[in-house]
Amino acid sequence: MNYTLTPMNALGIGAEIRGLDTTMPVSDEVRRQLNADFAKYHVLALRDQKLSADQFLASCGLFGEIMEHHRKNSATPENPRVYEIRNIETSPGKYFISGASFHTDHSNDPVPPKATALHAISLPSYGGDTQFVDMHQAYDDLPETMKQRLGKLKAVHVYQSKYSPRKLRVVDAQTIQHTPPPAIHPLVRTHPENGRKFLYINPVRIESILGMPDEESQALIAELMAHATQLKYEYRHKWLHGDMVIWDDRSVLHKANGDYDMKELRRMYRLMIRGVVHADETPTTADASLQRLPTGVV
């Protein structure tokens, strides 16, 4: 079985895949092609999939091994290994939207994920797009002096930075147990599959940059974010029923939008794919005492 790929735009970020039924056996050749396309386009939208939780789990296997989520209180009732996100009413009339500012998933892990995949189960009638920005292109366009400066810098990523622009959901005891120690990552990393450099920044998790006062590191992160989130780097995904969308957590930052009618349900199955680091990088943990978890009433 083969498929057709159509780039979403001229930017080189995002492509639509049609004609692939991920519930059917996929040959090694097609699987290799799919992963090559993924390394090139960073976001793939596989159209017309109608997957049960079990089928979604199997389909994600096309891209690698499943990575355990840190949050244990988000499993879908259909399958404890599959997670779900939805607009949650936390108190009457107040809703929690996960991921509503640009970030990359689980960068607090010393070996962060390769990818995250969502499968639309229920979509609002308008809004709820997901935005993606290309961190390879954003890096390539930086002035040479900035590239040299960033090339020497490493950041400490904790579960929730004290400088995070938004609060994450409170974690339960089981989640705390499964959360790895905080991580140290270079600000500029090399993609293990496509070999390109990319900016690895995440305002939700970066607590500090090693050897730099916080005021200066926060100013640098803000400057890089302003650069990297320009429209010219963005692909904005409008969800269609049946979409399975997978994005590369190294190549892009992403952002959810809570701009729809909260009386309508937006519900997605969610899984991550285990990552590897480039041969030139060594997974590094930061001191456990630096960890910050949002605790309190779950």
Q: Which of 105, 134, 207, 234 binds ligand OGA (CB under 6 A)?
A: 105
Q: Does 85 bind ligand OGA (CB under 6 A)?
A: yes
- Interacting partner of 40 out of Mn ion, ligand OGA, none (Cβ under 5 to 8 A depending on kind): none
User: Helices in the chain by DSSP H: which ranges?
Assistant: 28-41, 53-60, 135-140, 144-150, 173-178, 214-228
Q: How far is the CB of 130 from Mn ion (least distance, A)?
A: 9
Inter-CA distances, 246 with 124, 213, 240, 257, 273, Å:
20, 36, 14, 17, 10
Q: Return the bridge partners of 119, or none.
A: 244, 269
Distance (Å, whole) CA 29 – CA 202:
35
Please work out the total of residues on this chain that contact ligand OGA, with binding judged by CB under 6 A. Answer: 10
Count CA atoms within 13 Å of residue 248 on its CB side. Answer: 30
Select from 76, 107, 116, 160 the one that contacts ligand OGA (CB under 6 A).
Answer: 116
130 binds, among ligand OGA, Mn ion, none (CB under 5 to 8 A by kind): ligand OGA
Separation CA 80–CA 84 (nearest Å): 10
Nearer to Mn ion, 3 or 102 (CB): 102
Q: Which of 142, 256, 273, 286 binds ligand OGA (CB under 6 A)?
A: 256
Decide if residue 253 touches ligand OGA (CB under 6 A): no
184, 221, 163, 271: CA torsion to nearest 10: -60
Residue 189 binds ligand OGA (CB under 6 A) = no
CB of 297 to ligand OGA, least distance (A): 23
The footprint of Mn ion (CB under 5 A) covers 99, 105
- Minimum CB separation from ligand OGA for residue 92, in Å? 23
Does residue 250 contact residue 275 with C-beta atoms inside 8 Å?
A: yes
Reference 224, options 142, 160, 125; nearest CA is 142
Q: Cβ of residue 210: shortest distance to ligand OGA, in angstroms?
A: 27
Q: How far apart are CA 62 and CA 55, in angstroms?
A: 11
Residue 270 binds what, of Mn ion, ligand OGA, none (CB under 5 to 8 Å, by partner type)? Answer: ligand OGA
- Smallest gap from Cβ 42 to Mn ion, in A, equals 14
CA 284, 198, 101, 126 torsion-angle sign: negative
What's the min distance (Å) between Cβ of 71 and ligand OGA?
A: 10
Q: Least distance to ligand OGA from the beta carbon of 251, Å?
A: 15
In the complex with Mn ion, which residue's Cβ is closer, 99 or 112? 99
Q: Which residues bind ligand OGA (CB under 6 A)?
A: 85, 98-99, 105, 116, 118, 130, 254, 256, 270
